[in-house]
Amino acid sequence: MADITKQGFDRRRLLIGTGATGLSLIAMPNIVRAQTRELVIGGAASHKPWVETHVVPMFEKKYNARITFEGTRSLVNLEKMQKNKDKPYLSVVQMDDPVMILAVREGLLDPITAAKCPNVAKLKPGTMHMDGMWANYLQPWQGIAYNTNVLKEPPASWADAFDPKFKGRIIVPSLQNTEGLPNVFMMAHLQTGKPMAEAYKDIDAAFAKLRTLKANLLTAYSQMPQAFSLLEQGEAHMIVGALSSFGMQRRLDGAPINMTAPKEGIFPVPSGIAVVKGGPNIDLAYAYVNELLGAEVQARIAPPTFALPTNVDVPIPPGMPTNATIHPIDWAFVAENRNSWVQRWDREMAI
Q: Go through 48-74 and write b for each residue having 16 or more CB atoms within 10 A of its CB, e for each that does not.
A: bebbeebbbeebeeebebbbbbbbbbb
Residue 306 half-sphere exposure, CB side, CA atoms within 13 Å?
A: 18
Question: What's the pLDDT at 235?
Answer: 98
Q: Which of 33-42, 216-225, 242-251 has the lowest mean pLDDT?
A: 33-42
d(CA 274, CA 136): 9
Asked if residue 244 lies in contact with residue 142, where contact means CB atoms within 8 angstroms, the answer is: yes
Q: Is the pLDDT of residue 11 over 50?
A: no
Q: Which of 32-41, 134-143, 292-301 has the lowest mean pLDDT?
A: 32-41
Question: What's the pLDDT at 318?
Answer: 87
Sign of the CA dihedral with 176 first, then 180, 185, and 190 last: negative
Q: What is the mean pLDDT of the chain?
A: 89
Containing 186, the helix (H) or strand (E) segment is helix 181-192
Question: What's the pLDDT at 171?
Answer: 98
Question: What's the pLDDT at 34?
Answer: 46
**pLDDT band for position 291 (cuts 50, 70, 90):** very high
Percent of the chain with pLDDT over 70: 90
**pLDDT band for position 196 (cuts 50, 70, 90):** very high
Question: What's the pLDDT at 2?
Answer: 38
Burial of 340 (0-12, 13-18, 19+ CB in 10 A): exposed
DSSP assignment of 201-234, as one string? Answer: T-HHHHHHHHHHHGGGEEEEESSHHHHHHHHHHT
Question: What's the pLDDT at 351?
Answer: 73
d(CA 100, CA 108): 9
Beta pairing, strands 109-110 & 271-276: antiparallel
Closest-CA residue to 138 (of 344, 320, 283, 11): 320
Burial of 231 (0-12, 13-18, 19+ CB in 10 A): buried
Question: What's the pLDDT at 24?
Answer: 37
Burial of 167 (0-12, 13-18, 19+ CB in 10 A): exposed
Q: Is the pLDDT of residue 317 over 80?
A: yes
Question: What's the pLDDT at 25?
Answer: 35
Closest-CA residue to 73 (of 101, 106, 102, 43): 43
- Enumerate the β-bridge partners of residue 42: 70, 93
Q: Which of 182-191, 262-271, 273-282 has the lowest mean pLDDT?
A: 262-271
Containing 135, the helix (H) or strand (E) segment is strand 134-147
Question: What's the pLDDT at 98?
Answer: 86
Q: Go through 81-106 and write b for each residue having 16 or more CB atoms within 10 A of its CB, e for each that does not.
A: beebeeebbbbbbbbbbbbbbbbbee
What structural domains does the chain harbor? Answer: 6-139+270-309 (3.40.190.10), 140-268+325-348 (3.40.190.10)
Q: Is the pLDDT of residue 46 over 90?
A: no
pTM check: above 0.75: yes
Question: What's the pLDDT at 1?
Answer: 40
**pLDDT band for position 123 (cuts 50, 70, 90):** very high
Question: What's the pLDDT at 176?
Answer: 85
**253: three-class secondary structure by DSSP:** coil
Q: Is the pLDDT of residue 178 over 90?
A: no
Q: Is the pLDDT of residue 332 over 70?
A: yes
Q: Is the pLDDT of residue 82 over 80?
A: yes
CA dist 197 → 65, 107, 185, 234 (Å) = 44, 30, 10, 35
The one-letter amino acid code at 87 reads K
Over the stretch 133-150, which tens digit does the pLDDT of each residue have?
A: 999 999 999 999 999 999
Better pLDDT: 4 or 176: 176
**65: three-class secondary structure by DSSP:** strand
Question: What's the pLDDT at 73?
Answer: 84
